[in-house]
Structure 1
Amino acid sequence: MRTYSWFFLAAFLACSSVSYAQSDNPTGGHFGVKAGVSLTRLNISGISPNIPKQKLDPHLGVMYRYRLHKFVIQPEVLLAAKGGTMQVQRIGATTRETIRNNYYYLSVPLLLGYIPTEGITLQAGPEFSYALNAGKSGGPGAKNDLGLVVGAHYDFLDMLDKFSLHVRYVYGFTNVSPEPLAVYKNRVLQASIVYNLYPKQKK
């Protein structure tokens, strides 16, 4: 029993030393570049013959992360595709046709975060998006899209300490439908790998 007690004490001290090493500079900011994939779809209501389906789309961007003790401010700029796909059965047709939506956005998430434990940040905030192909074939019907972002930021350790993982869900509020009688709203699940550009430590 005493052996187990010493083992748990050693494990606790090791975890504490890791947390202390990560928390020795809890105030400051850095830039990062990120890339990943999005599982996109449209939430459809109103009068529409279309049935929404999901598709994988890429996203790419930059971020700035500023930490103040356990709180984080993180603005980003992303190039992202949204929209998902849709299936529609034309009048007189016997099979359904798949329509691929390509809604290209320049998005600016403004996130606030809280660090419950070292390495993990819980985040939420608004996302403002501008459609680069609004009104064009296969594009959205609205130029602007407002969404709510909820997600988490995880920092890798050891040899991968310059990398982080972002997982988040984006809930769109704006009707982006090109159809007059239907309502389309973006729904996006994102996963990104971030390369953090930490400032050099002063010697």
Structure 2
Amino acid sequence: MAGIGAAVHTGNVDRGDSVAVIGCGGVGNAAIASAWLAGAARVIAVDISDTKLATAVEMGATHVVNSLATDPVPTIRELTGGHGADVVIGAVGHPETYEQAFYARDLAGTVVLVGVPTPEMKFEVPQLDLFGRGGALKSSWYGDCLPSRDFPMLVDLHLQGRLDLASFVTETIALDDVEKAFGRMHEGDVPRPVVVL
């Protein structure tokens, strides 16, 4: 729900919008799927893993950017006619990727931070850039989700065949394998393992 809500609730993605998602793990790919469902004209996936970018395409990304090989900011601007994306969703939570999101958005656009930073992280940008670029900077706590409203919506979308919830599960693991799965997630090997008891 965090990624889906980050796009539709916090970012207010609408039909025809351009959307960039930085970080294509489970949350980022949910944001991509949600932006596609909302009718975004262009959905740009940014990650350092070609495997995650391939999954992003399956979720609805129209363009992919491997940020190890290409600077995502000018690439996103180029893909959006030089303007920047209407909504940029940061699903990583690092200051570097938040800065990329800030500079990759359209002047009147919205940056949504759904990736959770650690307490010592700082985002530093010239205050004149904050003023001059306008738009909105928003944080998204669990996608601004309201379970009584959103969970039935997800079930309906799944039953209609418009949202394949099973595709968000990249592997199932036993409870004893949780630590190993966390290690693989930190290494970027697997976006979304699910514990099966």
What TM-score does the superposition give when structure 2 sets the normalisation length? 0.24
Give the structure with the higher percent helix: 2
Give the structure with the higher percent strand: 1
What TM-score does the superposition give when structure 1 sets the normalisation length? 0.23
